[in-house]
Amino acid sequence: MNWLEKMERKFGRYAIHNLMYYIIILYVVGLVLQLLVPSFYYQYLSLDVSAILRGQIWRIVTFIIQPPQTGYLFMIFALYLYYMLGRELENTWGAFRFNLYFFSGMLFHVIAAFAAYFLVGVSFPLGTWYLNMSLFLAFAAVYPDMQFYLFFAIPVKAKWLGILDGVYFLYTILQAFLPSYGGNPLVGVVYQANAIAAAVSILNFVIFFLGSRNMKPYSPKQRKRKREFQQKIRPENHYAGGARHRCAVCGRTELDDPSLEFRYCSRCNGNYEYCQDHLFSHIHVK
């Protein structure tokens, strides 16, 4: 049992289910603020270390409401894309592991902001760009053969976009070691701050996946196989209250949380069903 499994067994019940739904709501709030009061975010909510050190500690959390930085015309597509990525990762990993990946990414961004402040002496507000990019990097690693349509016409597999994503991260990091454009020291500071943000995002990705080397059971093919297995052996009788599914560990049913997914474990001796949070963390019945 690795450290991720131990943490999930201990803290899994505190995970926020359908986390990306709430994150998208925060992005929409940030977009509305950006449209109505453009300067409000940077004045009061951004990850500004100098302001945090003056007592505005809420910025450690509120910076997350910055929506993906793209044109307003494509904003709705960007929000839908990130919702889809987060939903699929949560369905695959389980709520706890997706929560851990996202919130550790936030924590690393806060660390990066403080590191940039103390290293370069300037407070450069770091937004959510690299956090969202690392989300796509994780998606490409889990679903390498998933197809996206660039410009709604050109099919491209996620693994190739993930490679471009990784190259972009590496280039951003290398920029910190290049001479600043035109000798402008401020541009050099921006490069260094972005490099630190990109580096910690990659670090979060690497740490998580080094601790998830046994993630093959979460693959889409396995999920499909387990779904078909479940449909074949599902008992006809229902549980109390009319529920069709009940986790053998926590006892929750789909009536407790409609977003929960349930699977039978093929390694347990008997028809034991588990929710998405306990499917890969329970003790197998022999």
Question: Under the phi-then-psi rule, with left for phi > 0, alpha for psi from -120 to 50, and beta for the rest, what region is 178?
Answer: beta
pLDDT tens per residue across span 86-126 = 888 888 788 888 898 899 888 988 888 888 888 777 777 77
pLDDT tens per residue across span 257-270 = 888 888 888 778 77
**Beta strand pairing status for 154-157 and 273-275?**
unpaired
Q: Identify whether the C-beta of residue 12 lies closer than 8 Å to the C-beta of residue 250.
A: no
Answer whether residue 237 shows pLDDT above 50. Answer: no
What are the structure tokens assigned to 180, written together?
Answer: 């600043």
Nearest Cα to 263, choosing from 242, 240, 280, 251? 280
Nearest Cα to 250, choosing from 118, 55, 95? 95
* pTM given for the model: 0.68
DSSP letter for 284, please.
P
Instruction: Tell me how far CA of residue 103 lies from CA of 43, 118, 152, 218, 286, in angstroms.
Output: 24, 23, 31, 21, 36
49 burial level (CB within 10 Å; 0-12, 13-18, 19+): buried
d(CA 266, CA 252): 20
Could you write out the DSSP letters of every residue in 30-88? HHHHHHH-TTHIIIIIS--HHHHHTT-TTHHHHGGGPPP-S-HHHHHHHHHHHHHHHHH
Most trustworthy range by pLDDT among 15-19, 117-121, 141-145: 15-19
Scan for tokens 């996206």, then name that residue. 148
d(CA 123, CA 192): 12
d(CA 12, CA 222): 22
Q: Identify whether the C-beta of residue 137 lies closer than 8 Å to the C-beta of residue 162.
A: yes
5-14, 85-94, 236-245: lowest mean pLDDT where?
A: 236-245
pLDDT tens per residue across span 146-168 = 887 776 678 888 888 888 888 88
DSSP letter for 180, please.
P
